[in-house]
Amino acid sequence: MKTRPEQQHEASFVAAFRNSAPYINAHRGRTFVVVFGGEAVQDTDFAGFIHDVALLNSLGIRLVLVHGARPQIEARLRERGTEIRYVNGLRVTDADALACVKEAAGSVRVEIEALLSMGQANTPMAGARLRVASGNFVTARPLGIREGVDYQHTGEVRRIDAAAIHQRLEQGAVVLLSPIGYSPTGEVFNLSADEVATAAAGALRADKLVCLVEGAGVVDERGQLARQLSPAAAEAILDGDEELPDDVTHLLRAAIAACRAGVPRAHLVSRHTEGAMLLELFTRDGVGTLVTAERYESMRQATIDDVGGVLELIAPMEQEGILVRRSREQLELEIERFTVAERDGMIIACAALYPHPEERIGELACVAVHPDYRAGGRGDTLLEQMERLARQQGLERLFVLTTRTAQWFEERGFRKAELKELPPRRRELYNYKRGSKVFIKGV
């Protein structure tokens, strides 16, 4: 017989696997650009990241990996006694530095390709048989002389060969891009990995840009992780007084640029979190910072397509007796009365308004917020929306019938009322066996 911990572990696994199913379906066939620094490559846990890459590839996700090589380049420069020179955050790449760039980037690329080629039995890569495509996909031009500084062999992206990359992706390969670009005249330029990633994501019309950062990510003055930002909000953070780590600053700028180039979502995730990419991509709230111009969470009038989501939300509360049971048929007939809060495709809150126009009063019913989202003030936002709807319909008051949440409504301005204060039609339907308390509030 299985022990209780074993049963709990199995139940947890099943729940997690089922919850990831919508994302497995949504991500299949999508193009993701993933950028990471050279620090990640020399980390002892880098093989675990490669295993996750293999898993994403096996799920039908089209992957473009962009690697950095800064620590590897600087190590070679120090070995040669060559000056490490940065101006305005950009490396000045002379001939000696370019030799180190070529050597380091080539070494990192080969190391990544070797790890992606593994297929040992009894490892996560067993049977993966990944193909890796790399090459001269990035055309570059020199930065030239800026503010009197000649950046020499430091360049910027001129063009991404999107057609060639798409061809490799269609063949099931993982495409690997290095921070190096080539000119039509045969010159080689040292590039920024985050610029390569941003340009690639835009040119490929990628669905996501995933940036692995060294620290915790984008945190506020209280040390709390910023979970979701619009491009404008992200820019405000960059322009603010709070100092961010250099890599977070660069990658947050990359995320903003990618979103404004048409990439729907960019993610900044700490690479030190075990399974960071999987947690970010296959759980609803992720573990990083999402930068998106899309409305990740919205409140709107429900449609017939929301019936299943509303039923799933309210079912646990119906079982506990907090809410009155509603059949699917009843809910389908009344769904236009409902307002829902939707977060990344999931209904996380709902409420219904049943007006009694003759008495200028409406019933607020079926108020429910998912347990995982009750700390975010969504109940208050939902109540404010229902009060606005009531006013728009010419109503002057709202009433609720409740057995368990009286205090919550009282704290929000509802007063305890008598049954006789309800509209006659609603009094006739009152369930004396249930014994709900009545509360009324002016709107």
* Integer Cα distance of 379 and 4 in angstroms: 35
The predicted-structure confidence for 191-248, as pLDDT tens digits, reads as follows 999 999 999 999 999 999 999 999 888 887 777 888 888 888 888 888 887 788 888 9
**What pLDDT, on the 0 to 100 scale, is given for residue 128?**
64
Please give the model's pTM, rounded to 2 decimal places. 0.71
**What pLDDT, on the 0 to 100 scale, is given for residue 29?**
94
**What pLDDT, on the 0 to 100 scale, is given for residue 232?**
85
Q: How many domains would you assign to the chain?
A: 2
CATH of the domain at 80: 3.40.1160.10
CATH of the domain at 303: 3.40.630.30
Determine whether 31 is exposed, middle or buried from the number of CB atoms within 10 Å of its CB (0-12, 13-18, 19+): buried
**What pLDDT, on the 0 to 100 scale, is given for residue 409?**
95
Does 287 share its domain with 346? no
**What pLDDT, on the 0 to 100 scale, is given for residue 127?**
63
Q: Is residue 228 part of a domain?
A: yes
User: What is the radius of gyration, based on Cα positions, of the chain?
Assistant: 28
SS3 205: coil
Does 326 share its domain with 288? no
**What pLDDT, on the 0 to 100 scale, is given for residue 217?**
83
* Integer Cα distance of 141 and 152 in angstroms: 11
Low-confidence ranges of the chain (pLDDT < 70): 1-4, 6-7, 119-128, 295-296, 375-376
**What pLDDT, on the 0 to 100 scale, is given for residue 394?**
95
**What pLDDT, on the 0 to 100 scale, is given for residue 124?**
58
Q: Which domain holds residue 213?
A: 19-294
**What pLDDT, on the 0 to 100 scale, is given for residue 123?**
56
Distances in whole angstroms, Cα of residue 180 to Cα of each of 109, 276, 373 = 11, 27, 44
Does 166 share its domain with 248? yes
Does 251 share its domain with 166? yes
**What pLDDT, on the 0 to 100 scale, is given for residue 157?**
94
Quick one: which H or E segment has residue 167? helix 162-170
